[in-house]
Structure 1
Amino acid sequence: MTAFSLEPAQTAWCEELRSLAERHLRPLAEKGDPGHVNRPLLAALGEAGLLGRMLDSGALDLCLLRESLARGCTEAETALALQGLGTHPLVRSGTPAQRARWLPEVRAGRAVAAFALSEPGAGSDAAALALKAAPAAGAAVGSAAGHGAGPGAEPDGGGWRLTGEKYWISNAPEADFYTVFARTAPGTGSRGITAFLVPADRPGLTGTALDMLSPHPIGALEFDGVPVSAADVLGVPDRGFHVAMDTLNLFRPSVGAFAVGMARAALDAAVEHTAARTAFGGVLKDLQAVSHQVAEMATRTEAARLLVYAAAAAYDAGEPGVPGRAAMAKLYATETAQYVVDTAVQLHGARALRRGHLLEHLYREVRAPRIYEGASEVQRTIIAKELYASREASA
């Protein structure tokens, strides 16, 4: 079998997903209010079993899900992916009580999750986050015995109070719970961060919607002494950065899959249009300048697809070098999707810029993935760091 080709059952499943997205999920997406959570769409994803499948999947299945849904309905893909991003820390690091409370609701599409990592001064540089988790009044700072964490990680008795801001948070301020990363040990960089599961109804937690290019909700969160306790910790105190990076290492290749899905949708549209459109006395596809552009679009899309699948397979196999491979997949796939969508717009001409056209929609959607979950520049830094670390290890 050719490397990274799909089994017939996988190919059939992908086509079923694409058909479901086009016929059933897209109409629900079109009825949604841009900038707000589409709860009927989430409920449909739950009824179809896709939210549960996502939570139980490895990286390759997640990539197939995201690529196939994106090819048929980007809103459905994004709704599913945001649920996964916000819930994965709970799946991997949550307590039995936390899982029992929230996972059935997420699987059914009734609870909305959000991943609250970015801040006004800490976007791509996640280790620089400043949201403060201070011991609650009257709480003595304990030794965190049994947790393997540093001094001051867990206060005795009173829990913590969260104070500060989170920014650019997808699904905020409409989520039902947030995976929040806060600094429990000042001056320790990535080693002093703790992950908390914070229900949206906690006192002191407020949010504001941000008017963004993206059609899904993005907002800012304000934490004014929000109370959290040991029961809200995800994983180990002071080791929340590992929770964040574990989530991003899984989802970065799947962001690439989302991008590949958009690129394939744009390529499909370009092939269809250039095969039928006449100009200058002939069909567009017969112009070498056009056919070569389409060939380049197809080649880059296939290369991106293979990078994404390779990174996902490496993650599932527990191979070394996953951060670098995940970074390559996200970098190349998102940059490729930008190129393919832009070229498809150029081949279509003015009609592709009309509000409501598929390519007009994709043109707006394709820009953000080059920024979120680590901008392209950050991915290049990760790749280079892995290369030099490998050289030093083998020296």
Structure 2
Amino acid sequence: MTAFSLEPAQLAWCAELRTLAAERLHPLADKGEPGHVNRALVAELGSLGLLGRLFTSGALDLCLMRESLAYACTEAETALALQGLGAHPVHAYGTAAQRARWLPRVTAGTAIAAFALSEPGAGSDAAALELRAEADAAQTGRSSDAVRAGRSSDAPVLAAAPDGPARWRLTGEKCWISNAPEADFYTVFARTTPGAGARGVTAFLVPADRPGLTGRGLDMLSPHPIGALDFDSVPVTADDVLGEADRGFRVAMGTLNLFRPSVGAFAVGMAQAALDATLAHTAGRDAFGGKLRDLQAVSHQVAEMALRTEAARLMVYAAASAYDADDPDVPRRSAMAKLLATETAQYVVDTAVQLHGARALQRGHLLEHLYREVRAPRIYEGASEVQRGIIAKELYARQEAR
């Protein structure tokens, strides 16, 4: 692949995915209950082998999957993406036992995963999260090591219990968590060291049946399963840690750096669907003695839609290729790709609605559906304003390093 085109095999695979999405996945999506996990749809993604590719393919393949599925069935795209987002920390940072227990079921589509980072007071500012992971009382003590580590000498220090691994209790709330409260397990980010910002966060793999873990669904603009989780002294141990204690922010950012370009791919898929619908509509719609496309005001808007969609697609592919090449510039490229693609999709879908007129506002119309779907990606996995902050930070860091 060059920076400007895909190989014929990749193009053929994308076409195959669009056909599968339209013929096999869309009918299952239509049967799902809005606001709830569609387990039949997830199982079909597993039987088609698409969930398995989440853990065996690179970032570019992930983008191609998400773009192609989004074009024909946004529900299937989202179901696939949420499985990847929730389970990637297990794949990349989990122990052999954690991977053996959960990844085969995720791949088969029989276990639902979720990524639990956001909180009511810590969305874009992920380092400000407040879900507490407090050491069990029987395991706390005081140590001079805490002082050397930069902690207060009064802070509790966790030591391994005589009869097993270190233990914590999770207390607090998570909010706007996709697949909650119906997931089978959650990648949960909790504060293990108070006052330490991003350095005091630990990632835990928390099965849904842990005592003290409850949740409720939230009624959102788009009909995806999204909810809040309540943690009432939920027990976890060192065996549930993903990566290292107090290093969970690395798990979160490593996951987001992979998935941010593919959020852009989701957006590009929606933009392309809106563009193609607009081309068909404006070519066939009679207006003012001709076709809509004959009006320069219309044709120029369509050209602008196509220009922005292609530019976003190329930036997404470039960011994904950089990730696959282990480029050190991945955070900047990922942020740019997500920012440009999601803002572009919002523009393209909105313009498509305008050119279609009132028919696009009818419930059940493709553009009515896309109009509701396209808004959220500008917020989740780092809002557009956060992406601009990341880009600026990386640019100034490069300048200072020269």
In the superposition, the TM-score normalised over structure 1's length comes to 0.96
Partner residue, 2:117 = 117
Partner residue, 1:253 = 261
Partner residue, 2:12 = 12
Residues 274, 162 of structure 1: CA spacing in aligned structure 2 closer, same or farther, 3 A cutoff? same
SS at match of 1:56: coil
Letter in 1 for 2:379: I
Partner residue, 1:134 = 134
Higher deviation after alignment, 240-249 or 1-10: 1-10
Matched, 1:219 2:219: no
Partner residue, 2:340 = 332
Letter in 1 for 2:312: A
Partner residue, 1:80 = 80
- Using the alignment, how far apart are the partners of 1:42 and 1:62 within structure 2? 16
Q: Which structure 2 segments of 5+ residues have no match?
A: none
Task: Tell me how far 1:137 sits from its aligned partner.
Answer: 2.2
Matched, 1:161 2:204: no
SS at match of 2:231: strand
Is the Cα–Cα contact under 8 Å of residues 116 and 179 in structure 1 kept in the other structure? Answer: yes
Per-residue CA distance 1:349-378 (angstroms, 9 max, x = gap)? 000110000000000000000000000000
How do 1:91-110 and structure 2 match up within 5 A?
91-110=91-110
Matched, 1:230 2:238: yes
Partner residue, 2:61 = 61
SS at match of 2:137: coil
How do 1:1-395 and structure 2 match up within 5 A?
3-140=3-140, 154-157=158-161, 158-394=166-402
Backbone CA RMSD of aligned residues: 1.5
Letter in 2 for 1:349: G
SS at match of 2:118: coil
- Using the alignment, how far apart are the partners of 2:365 and 2:175 within structure 1? 31
Is the Cα–Cα contact under 8 Å of residues 94 and 235 in structure 1 kept in the other structure? Answer: yes
SS at match of 2:223: coil
Residues 35, 139 of structure 1: CA spacing in aligned structure 2 closer, same or farther, 3 A cutoff? same
- Using the alignment, how far apart are the partners of 1:187 and 1:339 within structure 2? 40
Is the Cα–Cα contact under 8 Å of residues 194 and 241 in structure 1 kept in the other structure? Answer: yes
Letter in 2 for 1:156: A
Count of aligned residue pairs for this structure pair: 390
Per-residue CA distance 1:120-172 (angstroms, 9 max, x = gap)? 110000000010000012013598x9xxx987775322500000000110000
- Using the alignment, how far apart are the partners of 1:142 and 1:91 within structure 2? 35
Is the Cα–Cα contact under 8 Å of residues 311 and 326 in structure 1 kept in the other structure? Answer: yes
Residues 199, 326 of structure 1: CA spacing in aligned structure 2 closer, same or farther, 3 A cutoff? same
Is the Cα–Cα contact under 8 Å of residues 153 and 185 in structure 1 kept in the other structure? Answer: no
Is the Cα–Cα contact under 8 Å of residues 293 and 299 in structure 2 kept in the other structure? Answer: yes
In the superposition, the TM-score normalised over structure 2's length comes to 0.95
- Using the alignment, how far apart are the partners of 1:267 and 1:153 within structure 2? 57
Letter in 1 for 2:260: R
Higher deviation after alignment, 92-101 or 154-163: 154-163
Residues 197, 370 of structure 1: CA spacing in aligned structure 2 closer, same or farther, 3 A cutoff? same
Residues 323, 153 of structure 1: CA spacing in aligned structure 2 closer, same or farther, 3 A cutoff? farther
- Using the alignment, how far apart are the partners of 1:96 and 1:150 within structure 2? 32
Letter in 1 for 2:57: S
Task: Tell me how far 1:224 sits from its aligned partner.
Answer: 0.4
Letter in 2 for 1:51: L
